[in-house]
Chains A and B, each alone.
Chain A
Amino acid sequence: MNFDLFKKTLANPLALAGFIIILCILMLALFAPVFSPYDPNEIDVKSILLAPSSMHWMGTDGLGRDVFSRMLYGGRVSLLVGLVAVGISTAIGIVLGALAGYYRGWVDTLIMRLVDIMLSIPSFFLILAVIAFLTPSIINIMIVIGLTSWMGVTRLVRAEFLSLNEREFVLASRTLGAEDFRLIFTHLLPNSLTPIIVSSVLGVASAVLLESGLSFLGLGVQPPQASWGNILTDGKEYIQFAWWLSLFPGLSILVTVLGYNLLGEGLRDALDPRSGSNK
């Protein structure tokens, strides 16, 4: 990754906005224990479903727990799941994509057909089916999302490798007798890193969304631990009356996903030779 790319990306105001949003959310989640006024799991029977006030900035839920504190801790879950899941899927994607793009032939065919098979199954249903066999927990969610969303990265890396393989510097290196390992890790991979970063950033957004969806359905993070998805579920019942239970988690998911998408698209524009900022 080069520093120049970042500078170019952040020159784009939308990408800058995305970057700032993500930075803020990361800080809030990271320092959740510092910022949260209450223990997120502290039940208070006397303050059930209180509207937002100076005491409880985002109101309280059906068990009298402070929604603001739960939102902060829920943010940790969302971001952790997003980052780890994408880490897993990117790692798998790089390995498989590199194998397919570098060796081609039957290895390529095999891996690409596997990608096609995986892509033919709607990913959310695949995840639902897998989760049904496992105990729902953060770790399982991260692994399952990671294991079911590597296909895009694989294709990307393969395409990069295919085109880089024909470039002069790779050919030169090969004629000089460089081994496969050396070629892959010192020439091909570093040169395909930027599109991978773009796709990972966009991937985090969809992983955050997936986790919220699973928690909303009760298949994700289990009580009493908070997640934006399960706060939203609690709110569904009382959407007429306790609007704060639906509004804040909904808004947080929206803003986070928006932030990652803005940043991801900004990065992509900065990379794209056809985009205006690259002249």
Chain B
Amino acid sequence: MISSMSAEPSSLIYMVAGESASASITSNIFNSLLKYNKDLDLEGELAEKWEISKDQKTITFTLKPNLKWADGKPLTSADVLFTWQAVINPQTASPYASDYALVKQAETPDERTFRVTYDQAYAPALDSWAGLQVLPKHLLEGQDLHSTTFAREPVGSSYYRLGDWKHGENITLTRNPNSVLGPANIEKLVTRIIPDNSAQFLELMADNIDSMGLDPIKYSRIIPARPELKKRLNLYKELGNSYTYLGFNLKHKPFDDVRVRKAINYAIDKQEIIDGVYLGLGINIASPYKPGTRWSNPDLMPYPYNPAKAKALLKEAGFVDTDGDGILERDSKPFTFEIITNNGNKEREKTAIFIQRRLKEIGIDVSIRSIEWASFISRFIKTGDFDVVILGWGLGLDPDQFNIWHSSQQKPGQFNFIGYNNPSVDRLLEQGRTELDPDKRMKIYHKFAKVLLEDSPVVYLSAGYGLTAIHKRIQGIINPIPPAGVGYDSQKWYIPEPLRRNEISTN
């Protein structure tokens, strides 16, 4: 099976690379202690079972028996301990270190037992252990994870092992006979590195790749219009893993005024954005959680499009058009600001144009600027030098969003760059982290989402669908798509003999 991605991984040690390009390869090579099943509940992967102590501070994992690395060496709790030590090591400088640094003590009473103790109960703990890919101690001990050759020739325990890596061209994974979860069906996974999206699509049309992610225009306009593509490809649609928002710089006037933020929220027609930008392939959201999941508060509704209410709120906040030029003023200064977003993201640029038009209608003069990603982050986001931004956040599986909304997370480079500071939200986020009872935790996050919606530090714009095309020769794909996504259980996918590609066509 041949797929494609736009960026080449910098390293195949995920805790070092911290990028999606790396994750898409390493998830086939390494295992974690736990994983999410198809309904997004946690189950054991390397772990056979896990126990949480009464005081909720200690978790004891028991590994499955007879685990082996791809090179035949045994996989034991010492490897897990080694991985934990590596991820919290300041020299590793892993972007994920903070979750694991909360572990006060980690120990391995025997070869199959791994025990961690926290200072206080930490609810996202299990989620964090599902995210940590266990590395082999016998190959990495004493090495610098940033410079080790292991990053280019990894040895894991999962369905595949690295076969070949042609830099700038492709990465080939071959079936790992020692896979701890049993063998995968498809013998070879080739991921071709094609930076340009249009070029990827050309390869899909030429039948040189078997799957790729699509944008709404390709999904609903181009492929249906071409019978030869329609005959060859299955299209999959699932709720995506991220949402787009309009974020205010709360340290800048007038965005510190909740009436202004609400007014802008009412003035934006979100349905129009979904129809125009996503061709209807997206949904409205009212909280930063995936609709339909436990953490999403079903009672919350997005702000409806209501320009009259927006105008009234602005008037209340002191904005009136005194000179009759169609633009509102306060203290004889016109209400004008700049929306910035990263260039190259067509959806966000188009969204900005829709917003610009709607805000003009209520008397706000908006300019748009799209900026190249690296300078966008370093020059504007990290320095806080912006008024309003259009960006996206992931819809994570664990509800903890401390990093994004807690007032302590405002230093340059941290994620609360909009400067949100709400003591009641801070309190809820802290409670949510220490509450392990799922039902109580759910109530906390429902309340958190409600406060957030009323306070409107960001305008939730939309959550687009994830759209994928996969060649019909790939069979065994779960349909309808489970909550865990179209790629769930891909080791069970198979290609019937007559439909297989010849060896030569993979290059």
Q: Please give the residue numbers on chain A whose beta carbons come within 8 Å of chain B beta carbons, in ascending order.
A: 41, 43, 45, 48-49, 62-64, 132, 135-136, 218, 222-224, 234, 236-241
**Chain B binding surface SS class:** helix
**B59: chain A residues within 8 A (beta carbon):** none
Q: Is B370 an interface residue (CB 8 A)?
A: yes
Q: Please give the residue numbers on chain B whose beta carbons come within 8 Å of chain A beta carbons, in ascending order.
A: 197-198, 201-202, 205, 217, 221-222, 225, 272, 275-276, 279, 343, 346, 349-350, 352-354, 356-357, 367-370, 372, 375
Q: 14 pairs across A/B with beta carbons < 8 Å?
A: A41-B357, A43-B276, A43-B354, A43-B357, A48-B279, A62-B217, A62-B346, A63-B350, A135-B369, A237-B198, A240-B198, A240-B202, A241-B221, A241-B225
Evaluate contact between B349 and A240: CB separation under 8 angstroms: no
CA of A139 to CA of B352 in the docked complex: distance in angstroms? 22
Q: Looking across the interface, which residue of chain A has its beta carbon closest to that of B349?
A: A223
Evaluate contact between B276 and A223: CB separation under 8 angstroms: no
Extra contacts, 7 of them, besides A64-B276, A237-B198 (Cβ < 8 A), are: A48-B217, A62-B346, A63-B353, A222-B369, A222-B370, A236-B198, A237-B197
Q: How far is the CB of A89 from chain B (nearest CB, A)?
A: 26
**A136: chain B residues within 8 A (beta carbon):** 369
CA of A63 to CA of B277 in the docked complex: distance in angstroms? 7
Q: How far is the CB of B371 from chain A (nearest CB, A)?
A: 8
Q: Which of A43, A222, A224, A241 contacts B222 (CB 8 A)?
A: A241
Evaluate contact between A62 and B198: CB separation under 8 angstroms: no
Evaluate contact between A45 and B346: CB separation under 8 angstroms: no
Q: How far is the CB of A279 from chain B (nearest CB, A)?
A: 54
Evaluate contact between A224 and B202: CB separation under 8 angstroms: no
Evaluate contact between A222 and B368: CB separation under 8 angstroms: yes
Q: A218-B343, A237-B197, A237-B198 are in contact. Are A224 and B369 (CB under 8 A)?
A: no
Evaluate contact between B368 and A45: CB separation under 8 angstroms: no
Evaluate contact between A63 and B346: CB separation under 8 angstroms: no
**B349: chain A residues within 8 A (beta carbon):** 223
CA of A222 to CA of B338 in the docked complex: distance in angstroms? 11
Number of A-B contacts (CB under 8 A): 59
**A238: chain B residues within 8 A (beta carbon):** 217, 222
Evaluate contact between B356 and A224: CB separation under 8 angstroms: yes
**B375: chain A residues within 8 A (beta carbon):** 132
Evaluate contact between B353 and A43: CB separation under 8 angstroms: yes
CA of A45 to CA of B280 in the docked complex: distance in angstroms? 10
Evaluate contact between A240 and B201: CB separation under 8 angstroms: yes
CA of A33 to CA of B354 in the docked complex: distance in angstroms? 22
Evaluate contact between A218 and B357: CB separation under 8 angstroms: no
Q: A45-B276, A238-B217 are in contact. Are A62 and B350 (CB under 8 A)?
A: yes
**A41: chain B residues within 8 A (beta carbon):** 357
CA of A238 to CA of B279 in the docked complex: distance in angstroms? 15
Q: Looking across the interface, which residue of chain B has its beta carbon closest to that of A41?
A: B357
Q: How far is the CB of B158 from chain A (nearest CB, A)?
A: 35
CA of A43 to CA of B346 in the docked complex: distance in angstroms? 15
Q: A43-B354, A241-B222 are in contact. Are A222 and B367 (CB under 8 A)?
A: yes
**A218: chain B residues within 8 A (beta carbon):** 343, 370, 372
Q: Which of A49, A62, A223, A237 contacts B368 (CB 8 A)?
A: A223
Evaluate contact between B197 and A223: CB separation under 8 angstroms: no
**B369: chain A residues within 8 A (beta carbon):** 135-136, 222
CA of A261 to CA of B64 in the docked complex: distance in angstroms? 76
Q: Looking across the interface, which residue of chain B has its beta carbon closest to that of A135?
A: B369
CA of A258 to CA of B154 in the docked complex: distance in angstroms? 56
Q: Which of B217, B272, B275, B352 contacts A223 (CB 8 A)?
A: B352
CA of A48 to CA of B215 in the docked complex: distance in angstroms? 14
Q: How far is the CB of B311 from chain A (nearest CB, A)?
A: 21
Q: A43-B354, A222-B369, A223-B349 are in contact. Are A240 and B276 (CB under 8 A)?
A: no
Q: Looking across the interface, which residue of chain A has its beta carbon closest to that of B271?
A: A45
Q: How far is the CB of A14 from chain B (nearest CB, A)?
A: 37
Evaluate contact between B276 and A224: CB separation under 8 angstroms: no
Evaluate contact between B221 and A49: CB separation under 8 angstroms: yes
Q: A136-B369, A240-B201 are in contact. Are A45 and B350 (CB under 8 A)?
A: no
Q: Looking across the interface, which residue of chain A has its beta carbon closest to that of B357?
A: A43
**B370: chain A residues within 8 A (beta carbon):** 218, 222-223
CA of A49 to CA of B372 in the docked complex: distance in angstroms? 26
Q: Looking across the interface, which residue of chain A has its beta carbon closest to that of B344?
A: A218
Evaluate contact between A237 and B346: CB separation under 8 angstroms: yes
CA of A52 to CA of B261 in the docked complex: distance in angstroms? 41
CA of A240 to CA of B203 in the docked complex: distance in angstroms? 13
Q: Looking across the interface, which residue of chain A has its beta carbon closest to that of B226?
A: A241
CA of A236 to CA of B198 in the docked complex: distance in angstroms? 8
CA of A132 to CA of B197 in the docked complex: distance in angstroms? 25
**B354: chain A residues within 8 A (beta carbon):** 43, 63
**A223: chain B residues within 8 A (beta carbon):** 349, 352-353, 356, 368, 370
**B357: chain A residues within 8 A (beta carbon):** 41, 43, 224
Q: How far is the CB of A129 from chain B (nearest CB, A)?
A: 12
CA of A68 to CA of B197 in the docked complex: distance in angstroms? 27
**A236: chain B residues within 8 A (beta carbon):** 198
Q: Looking across the interface, which residue of chain A has its beta carbon closest to that of B276?
A: A45
**A43: chain B residues within 8 A (beta carbon):** 276, 353-354, 357
CA of A239 to CA of B217 in the docked complex: distance in angstroms? 12
Q: How far is the CB of B507 from chain A (nearest CB, A)?
A: 24
Q: How far is the CB of A228 from chain B (nearest CB, A)?
A: 18
Q: How far is the CB of B207 from chain A (nearest CB, A)?
A: 15
CA of A246 to CA of B205 in the docked complex: distance in angstroms? 20
Evaluate contact between A63 and B201: CB separation under 8 angstroms: no
CA of A136 to CA of B352 in the docked complex: distance in angstroms? 16
Q: Which of B201, B276, B356 contacts A48 (CB 8 A)?
A: B276
**A241: chain B residues within 8 A (beta carbon):** 217, 221-222, 225
CA of A77 to CA of B46 in the docked complex: distance in angstroms? 62
